[in-house]
């Protein structure tokens, strides 16, 4: 090995004009040149392929950014509800101080903490998402401000479904957002994953070694139309387990059956379609 490398080095600097082809060092040079040619061809070819593919990649990239931002706003809004759950369920307090504007403001703060990015509400979709959050809060003021009642059924997932329905309506068929979960964990049939979602959840998100929290997206079809689909996995934290934890089948405070979930287990997913 050593000798060959030395010989090759020597030959590349002083190549005899009538050198025999079958000698070992020549074989090396030939293949090296061949490889170089191949490499150059490969590089130029992939350059062309890249150039051709660039617009598609760029579009997918922008859509992934849009989807990532929107799902993060959605999640940040739900966090306002989940972190105020005991406050919302406090029978001794009337006005909870959770007006549409307050919740929208807190949503933006939660987003910025979670993503370490500033949030500009500068697109139709982002405006629609904040509008949806505000409308849902406006519509639930009477319910959440009612004194004398503890559990009000104003839960993060219910809030999320109302926001999702509003957002989807405001986007008039251009986008759809949805909170879903692995099939086995579904409580409300309205949140059932469709085939694409179920497939990503089961075959990708549940795969051992899949990077926690990493979204998956692709350009595909939705109801026969070209669509960009994005799905973000979510995991149970301690606060979820009061209702989704163990023992499986026991009743939680809402009267629903617990799923037997464990800390850190995949508990749901936020799905967004752009079409």
Q: Helix, strand, coil: what percent of the chain each, to 5?
A: 55, 15, 30
Check residue 272 and report its DSSP letter.
E
Query: Looking at 2-10, 65-73, 120-128, 156-164, which segment touches ligand HEC (CB under 6 A)?
Result: 156-164
Query: Looking at 108-116, 129-137, 209-217, 230-238, which segment touches ligand HEC (CB under 6 A)?
Result: 230-238
Among 107, 140, 191, 271, binds ligand HEC (CB under 6 A): 191
CB 273, min distance to ligand HEC, A: 17
Residue nearest ligand HEC, CB atom distance? 268
Q: Is 256 helix (H, G, I), strand (E, B) or coil?
A: coil
Residue 211 dihedral angles phi and psi, to the nearest 5° = -60, 120
Name which of residues 232 to 251 contact ligand HEC (CB under 6 A). Answer: 234, 236-237, 239-240, 242-244
The two three-digit tokens of residue 147, written as one number: 């004194």
Check residue 2 and report its DSSP letter.
H
**Residue 158 lies near ligand HEC (rule: CB under 6 A):** yes
Check residue 211 and report its DSSP letter.
P
Between 108 and 243, name the residue whose CB sits nearer to ligand HEC. Answer: 243
The two three-digit tokens of residue 249, written as one number: 């089948």
**Residue 119 lies near ligand HEC (rule: CB under 6 A):** no
Q: How many residues does the chain have?
A: 275
Rg (CA), the chain: 28
Query: Looking at 15-23, 120-128, 197-205, 252-260, which segment touches ligand HEC (CB under 6 A)?
Result: 252-260
Q: At what angle do helices 100-115 and 124-139 cross, to 10 degrees?
A: 130
**Residue 164 lies near ligand HEC (rule: CB under 6 A):** no
CA 203 to chain centre: 15
Contact residues: ligand HEC, CB under 6 A:
82, 155-158, 161, 179, 181, 185-188, 191, 234, 236-237, 239-240, 242-244, 252-254, 256, 267-268
């Amino acid at each position: 090995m050593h000798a060959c490398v030395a010989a090759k080095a020597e030959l590349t600097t002083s190549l005899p004009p009538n050198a025999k082809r079958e000698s070992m060092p020549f074989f090396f040079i030939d293949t090296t040149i061949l490889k170089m040619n191949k490499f150059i061809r490969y590089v130029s070819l992939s350059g062309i392929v890249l150039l051709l593919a660039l617009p598609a990649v760029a579009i997918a990239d922008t859509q992934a950014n849009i989807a990532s931002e929107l799902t993060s706003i959605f999640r940040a809004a739900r966090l306002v509800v989940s972190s105020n759950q005991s406050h919302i369920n406090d029978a001794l307090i009337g006005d909870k101080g959770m007006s549409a504007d307050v919740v929208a403001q807190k949503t933006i703060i939660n987003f910025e903490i979670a993503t370490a990015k500033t949030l500009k509400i500068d697109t139709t979709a982002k405006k629609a998402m904040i509008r949806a959050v505000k409308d849902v809060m406006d519509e639930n003021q009477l319910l959440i401000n009612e004194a004398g009642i503890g559990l009000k059924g104003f839960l993060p997932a219910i809030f999320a479904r109302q926001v999702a329905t509003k957002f989807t309506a405001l986007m008039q068929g251009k986008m759809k957002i949805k909170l879903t979960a692995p099939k086995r964990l579904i409580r409300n049939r309205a949140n059932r994953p469709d085939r694409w979602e179920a497939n990503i959840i089961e075959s990708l998100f549940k795969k051992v070694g899949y990077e926690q929290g990493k979204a998956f997206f692709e350009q595909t079809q939705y109801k026969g139309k070209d669509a960009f689909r994005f799905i973000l996995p979510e995991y149970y934290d301690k606060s979820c387990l009061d209702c989704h934890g163990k023992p499986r089948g026991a009743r939680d405070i809402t009267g629903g059956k617990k799923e037997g979930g464990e800390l850190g287990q995949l508990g749901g997913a936020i799905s967004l379609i752009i079409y």
